[in-house]
Structure 1
């Protein structure tokens, strides 16, 4: 099994997990997601969630974690080697959104078609915010995606 597929399976186990209190970017399990990338305070956590999923997957599979250890979405994109960047999704890809001014959002691709990606992402909500309160399944237009990381 590929590491990215196992990370996606682990992400699915987290659907519905949320901040405590809501809107705080804190509480369990958010603290665990953030601490996986070395952040010990309340902060946006979508990228930390992705890294945490890959870390759990690598430990379960007893393989190296190839995901970039960062809490920053755009930092992950900028640090990634060109050979793992893609303009096309794959199941288990990490999608990258860039809202400008250093703000981004990310999650894992669960499925896709010609127009949409279907995702599992942290720090979102039912409306699809990049600053939400929980782990959700979302549907996003492919045209809103900067690119994909294939770990």
Structure 2
């Protein structure tokens, strides 16, 4: 079985991938992400498609059962997928004894955006995440895959796909 850090490596290898024309939600490099969903064509926000694609690559490496891979084009749909497949879904931590996100967890933001947690936080951010369809300002409808520092205040849920029990 693959290690959950392999999911972060897969996502990290995609950093810098951009749309052919910025803010058009399409392009030859973006098409592979969009094809990993249950929605056809291009021209729609692809942050969830990026996460789908990364998880599918992780599954191909033995990380999770291939029948469990997400195919949603919706950031919030990843929460439904996780619940349907009995993955651990948890709130952002408020207290020190709350579940803390780990690298490899999926993060779903309140503003309908998603990514893969890549690192623990520092003095400026609670955690770091690799996200598709973002921009230098950290927006949810950008043009590239990038790593962003984020804070818990913007998080709706985290999803743990490492096989740990809920």
TM over 0.5: yes
1:147 maps to which residue? Answer: 157
2:20 maps to which residue? Answer: 20
Runs of 4+ in 1 over 4 A off after TM superposition: none
How many equivalent residue pairs?
147
Residue deviations 1:61-117 (CA, integer Å, cap 9, x gap): 375243432111112213422651012311100001123xxxx00000011238511
| Equivalent residues in 2 for 1:49-68, closer than 5 Å | 49-61=50-62, 63-65=64-66, 66-68=68-70
1:134 maps to which residue? Answer: 144
Q: Determine helix, strand or coil for the equivalent of 1:18.
A: coil
1:110 maps to which residue? Answer: 118
Root-mean-square deviation over aligned CA pairs? 2.0
C-alpha separation in 1, matches of 2:10 and 2:82: 22
1:73 maps to which residue? Answer: 75
CA contact (8 A) 1:96 1:146 kept: yes
Structure 2 gaps, min length 5: 92-99, 162-166
Higher strand share: 1
Q: CA deviation at 1:128?
A: 0.2
**Higher Cα radius of gyration:** 2
Structure 1 gaps, min length 5: none
C-alpha separation in 1, matches of 2:44 and 2:69: 20
